[in-house]
Structure 1
Amino acid sequence: MLTITGLRSLTAGALCAGLSAIPVAQAASSDQPTLDEVRFGVPPWPGITVKSEVASQILEALGYQTKQNQLAVSVILNALANDDLDVYLAGWYPQEKHMLAPLLAEGSVKELVNNIPEVLTGIAVTDAAWQGGVRSIADLDDHAERFDHRIYGIEAGSGINDAVLKVIEAGRFGLDDWQLQASSSAAMLAQVGQKVERDEWTAFIGWQPHWMNIVYDMHYLEDVDDSGAAELKGHVATVVRADLAERDPDVARLFSQLVVDSEIQSNWVYALSYEQQDVEDIATNWIGSHQDIVATWLEGVEATDGTPGIEAVRAQFE
């Protein structure tokens, strides 16, 4: 479990205890509405863990308290709709579209920005297979023996696993005699790592951003006929409580401008999950060495004492 010190805290037990542990943020008495505390919903995924920590440290430099609540996605979205949380930085499309669409339609939450404009999920192959001519999902069955008629998947019930299973069950692209080997993401990545080291042909579920894109020599297969099992492109949205801009315009402005690319988040995931660095250290070091990016996030944003936001952050991270 992650332990966040100082003004931050992360609540992992709220999944069992419900949302009673999440206090309602109080507006500070000032001419401009201000939240005393900014409450994050954080699923137990490495990319969003680091991203939320980066945002938390910036907010604290601006004079806010923050709290990171580790919860399941469905619980996070319900909490945002009920104003029990303020922000969720991991609205992954298209996988979470069915959960977000009703809340957006009724106006109980809002999306501010695509904080990662482009993400990718789908079937990937090792470099050995790519160099052997496997470039699309339609090429797999031509080399079925080399792949042992197998695609290594992640957790059963995940959106991309289900998409691959539909292709197999429908017998598309000659894959009717193939199998999807579901397992935990960690187990799948360990298996793929061994295959890469042995320079073997392997097909597996990949996604970016993730450290696998840095460590493994891998390639994503092109899709054919919109199968939905390869080259599934999307984005990650910032989702907030519906009245955030009214409660605190500066916080809303920061979140509407906080955008990173897939490479940045892949490096965050690599540092946390692969190198096992401390999440606070990752965030602190990144903010200190990327002031140019942080400045774009803080354009027009003031600290709680009225000073320009970027000045407050620079003073904190000198």
Structure 2
Amino acid sequence: MIRHHLRSPLLSTALLASGLVAAPAQADIDEVRFGVPPWPGVTVKSEVAAQLLEAMGYETRQNNLAVSVILNGVAQNDLEVYLGGWYPVQTDMVEPLVADGKVEKVAANIQGATSGLVVPRYVYEAGVETVADLDEHRDRFDGQIQGIEAGTGINTAIQNAIDQDLAGLGDWSLRGSSTAAMLAQAGQKMRDQEWVTFVGWEPHWMNVSYDLVYLKDADGAGVADIESTVWTVVPASLKDEDPDLHRFMSQYVVDTQDQNDWVHAYSYEDVPADEVATDWIASHTETVAAWLEGVKAKDGRPAIEAVRAHFE
């Protein structure tokens, strides 16, 4: 099957370039179009789903777009699947579309995700267990919190805690940068056994490569111990258009450790996403079988039979 990849930051450009235009509902879908933001976890997760669908007889297209563009595309039936609906960060973006009957949240594909401030285990064992403990050792941290890209929910929460002097953070500073730059800086400090606190989240390869501890929140600061759920978002009409695709998407729930491993291989070891997906599928057919229970391939066979024939 032909897999297409599209990269564009704007909806109009993306839809014109890819030929994605709204079409009348049909009884069956031949091409499954994914919306994929520039996040390693969603990239590999989408690739795994795409390879399974191709083995079932579908064509797939992975469209690399900004989250707002993706959600608009799903709402307009220009995209079939978005696997990165991170709650609570995207709640205000997704829920109005759900309320309007334009999209459906079919599955929590990652449950028990965590985000917030982290420290290396050697810092935790030295007594920094909560956000309030940070200020007792301010000099060791140079009064700095290493953050990620501006405009993200966790950065906003950290800056709010600083502005309101919550948990003693009023005289601290947030050093925002790209995720890659933040992790490079934090990684260097950890190699030198220096003290550092930075934004962490799971699933991510950092949890495989580094021995980290997520701090407990304190004083209602809202910058640590944040539990999250990642939703699969599809057009509200998908169940009627393709019940088998809808059923697969509703059963596609990924173990957090599996996604940690995927992201570690893809982002840290630089293994191409298609290789990560192919190798994992071939060695985890029992998990795949649970995802495909009751799902039929395009030729009418049980989907798991089509997948096993393709990957074995």
- Distance, in Å, in 2 between the alignment partners of 1:115 and 1:223 is 26
Once the two structures are TM-superposed, the CA of residue 101 in structure 1 deviates from its matched residue by 1.2
Q: Equivalences for 1:1-318 in 2 at 5 Å?
A: 6-13=1-8, 15=10, 17-20=13-16, 21-24=18-21, 33-318=27-312
The 8 Å contact of residues 58 and 313 in structure 1, kept in 2 or not, is answered as yes
- Distance, in Å, in 2 between the alignment partners of 1:204 and 1:317 is 40
Once the two structures are TM-superposed, the CA of residue 158 in structure 1 deviates from its matched residue by 1.0
| TM-align CA RMSD | 1.5
Residue 150 of structure 2 aligns to a residue in which SS?
coil
**What letter corresponds to residue 3 of structure 2 in structure 1?**
R
The 8 Å contact of residues 8 and 67 in structure 1, kept in 2 or not, is answered as yes
- Distance, in Å, in 1 between the alignment partners of 2:307 and 2:103 is 29
Q: Does the C-alpha gap of structure 1 residues 37 and 28 become closer, same or farther in structure 2, counting only changes over 3 Å?
A: farther
- Distance, in Å, in 1 between the alignment partners of 2:60 and 2:151 is 33
- Distance, in Å, in 2 between the alignment partners of 1:99 and 1:28 is 24
Residue 9 of structure 1 aligns to a residue in which SS?
strand
The 8 Å contact of residues 232 and 249 in structure 2, kept in 1 or not, is answered as yes
Once the two structures are TM-superposed, the CA of residue 224 in structure 1 deviates from its matched residue by 2.0
Q: Does the C-alpha gap of structure 1 residues 61 and 28 become closer, same or farther in structure 2, counting only changes over 3 Å?
A: farther
Instruction: In structure 1, list runs of 5 or more residues that go unmatched.
Output: 1-5
Residue 41 of structure 1 aligns to a residue in which SS?
strand
Once the two structures are TM-superposed, the CA of residue 227 in structure 1 deviates from its matched residue by 2.2
Deviations 1:64-116 (A, max 9, x none): 11100011000000011111111100100111111001101111000001000
Q: Does the C-alpha gap of structure 1 residues 315 and 26 become closer, same or farther in structure 2, counting only changes over 3 Å?
A: farther
Once the two structures are TM-superposed, the CA of residue 256 in structure 1 deviates from its matched residue by 0.2
Deviations 1:12-37 (A, max 9, x none): 036371422243587999xxx32010
Residue 167 of structure 1 aligns to a residue in which SS?
helix
- Distance, in Å, in 2 between the alignment partners of 1:28 and 1:160 is 39
The TM-score with structure 1 as length reference comes to 0.94
Task: Report how many residues are paired.
Answer: 310
Residue 140 of structure 1 aligns to a residue in which SS?
helix
- Distance, in Å, in 2 between the alignment partners of 1:159 and 1:25 is 32
Between the aligned residues of both structures, percent identity stands at 53
- Distance, in Å, in 2 between the alignment partners of 1:65 and 1:151 is 45
The 8 Å contact of residues 115 and 238 in structure 1, kept in 2 or not, is answered as yes
The 8 Å contact of residues 28 and 35 in structure 1, kept in 2 or not, is answered as no
- Distance, in Å, in 1 between the alignment partners of 2:293 and 2:180 is 39
Q: Does the C-alpha gap of structure 1 residues 267 and 166 become closer, same or farther in structure 2, counting only changes over 3 Å?
A: same
Once the two structures are TM-superposed, the CA of residue 299 in structure 1 deviates from its matched residue by 0.2
Q: Does the C-alpha gap of structure 1 residues 255 and 113 become closer, same or farther in structure 2, counting only changes over 3 Å?
A: same
Once the two structures are TM-superposed, the CA of residue 44 in structure 1 deviates from its matched residue by 1.2
- Distance, in Å, in 1 between the alignment partners of 2:22 and 2:263 is 30
- Distance, in Å, in 2 between the alignment partners of 1:111 and 1:46 is 21
